[in-house]
Structure 1
Amino acid sequence: MIDKTIKYLGYFTAFVVALLVLLVVYDATVRYLFSGGSVALQELEWHLFDIVILFGIVYALRESAHVRVDIFYASFSQKTQALINIIASLLFVLPFSFLIIYIGVDFVSMSYLQNEASSNPGGLEYRFLVKSLMPLSFAFLSLQAIRDAKTNFDAWRSL
Structure 2
Amino acid sequence: MLHVVDKFMKYVAYLTAVILALLVVLVVFDATSRYLFSHGSTALQELEWHFFDVVILLSIAFTLRYNAHVRVDIFYDRFSPKTQAFINIVSALFFVLPLSFLIIYIGIDFVEMSFVQHEASSDPGGLKYRWIVKALMPLGFIFLLLQALKELISDIKKWKSL
TM-score bracket for this pair, using the shorter chain length: over 0.9
For residue 119 of structure 2, give the secondary structure of its aligned residue in structure 1: coil
Q: Segments of 4+ in structure 1 off by > 4 A?
A: none
2:83 equivalent to 1:80: yes
The gaps in structure 1 that reach 5 residues or longer are none
> For 1:69, which of 56, 67, 72 is the aligned residue?
72
Preserved contact between residue 54 and residue 133 of structure 1 (Cα < 8 Å):
yes
Provide the residue aligned with 1:138 in structure 2. 141
Provide the residue aligned with 2:53 in structure 1. 50
Provide the residue aligned with 2:17 in structure 1. 14
2:100 equivalent to 1:97: yes
Aligned mates of 1:16, 1:51 — CA distance in 2: 7
The gaps in structure 2 that reach 5 residues or longer are none
Provide the residue aligned with 2:128 in structure 1. 125
**Could you tell me how far 1:13 is from its partner in structure 2?**
1.0
**Could you tell me how far 1:89 is from its partner in structure 2?**
0.9
**Could you tell me how far 1:77 is from its partner in structure 2?**
0.3
Over the aligned positions, Cα root-mean-square deviation in angstroms equals 0.6
Aligned mates of 1:101, 1:120 — CA distance in 2: 28
**Could you tell me how far 1:90 is from its partner in structure 2?**
1.2
**Could you tell me how far 1:143 is from its partner in structure 2?**
0.6
